[in-house]
Amino acid sequence: MTSNRTTAGKKYLVLLAHLGALITMGAWGTSFLSSKILMQDGGFTPVETFIYRFTAAYLLLLALTFRKILSLSWRDELQFLVCGICAGSLYFITENYALKYTTTGNVSLLASISPLFTTILMGIVFKTRIKTGEIIGSIVAFAGVGCVVFSSGDTLEIHPKGDFLALSAALSWAIYTIVVKRLIPHYSSLFITRKLFFYGVLTALPLLLLQHEPYHLHLLFDFSQPQYIMNLAFLALMCSAAAYLIWNEVMKILGSVTASNYLYLQPIVTLVAAYFVFGEHVYLLGYIGCALIIGGLVIADKLNLDKKLKK
């Protein structure tokens, strides 16, 4: 009886983790709407947008976990620094500046290769065998991302500088996934997320201080234009604090590879959000891409050819 309850409890926990992954993708997939309002309408720079949202999220989490400031060792502290850079300052800033040197389609496509990087790095670092189903599923989902990204008529053009920055963003997120895997068993998601935000802001501050453009912080306190503070609040509370907390729990329960494959869903969320908010059309290629992404996720999660080949 106890064993049955334990099994049922684990299944329920896994189900919640999958739901949490979907909620996170919903937040991250729509975050571009708020970022677009801040950067295009308000004139906020990519560095400003990142620092303001992560600082607000950090202060919120600090209020919840202020009793424990430092990690258990300096080695762990260094790993938190790497997490803050790879999932914070480096990821967001390289991705945003990539848009200046290459097309939006290229950035969306190349940044979405992160789950594939994660699968490969997991095999290298942790000596785990990469399942055939995971590779096939990732390739199918990545093809779906390509269909979604270019369904609006964009073309794939080579722009080395911007494309390299986009790939760097994808690789940096994969490195974060690998490093945080070592920390998850020893720290709570609240603590991990708070440390990530702290080092993300700390490493981005020099870029903000070197910024030649004027700061736009005053717009957040201009209540005649509430759209700026409202969109920053959404980015800080939902897309940063809540989403990162949920994501770290998802990785703890589902594992890094399975969780990372959910990142392929972001373009679908973005496609749907753009349709409802900006009235952008969804073409046949976009529908095909959505089907491929979902199919790829199912293949990666359910298909295990390695066991079948052994039989």
Residue 60 carries which side chain, given as an amino acid letter?
A: L
DSSP category for residue 38 = I
What element of type H or E holds 157?
none
The radius of gyration of the chain from alpha carbons, rounded to an integer in Å, stands at 20
pLDDT at 156: 57
pLDDT in tens, the chain (311 residues): 556 667 777 888 999 999 999 999 999 988 877 888 898 889 998 899 999 999 999 999 999 888 888 898 999 999 999 999 999 999 988 887 787 777 666 677 777 788 888 888 888 888 777 777 778 888 888 888 888 777 665 555 667 787 888 889 999 999 999 999 999 999 999 999 999 999 999 999 999 999 888 899 999 999 899 999 999 999 999 999 999 999 999 999 988 888 998 998 888 887 777 777 766 676 778 788 888 888 888 887 776 544 433 43
256 within 8 A of 177, measured Cβ to Cβ? yes
- The pair of structure tokens assigned to 247 is 């994501």
137 within 8 A of 298, measured Cβ to Cβ? yes
Q: Is the pTM of this model over 0.75?
A: yes
247 within 8 A of 24, measured Cβ to Cβ? yes
- Distance, CA of 116 to CA of 145 (rounded, Å): 13
Burial class from Cβ neighbours inside 10 Å (0-12, 13-18, 19+) for residue 302 reads exposed
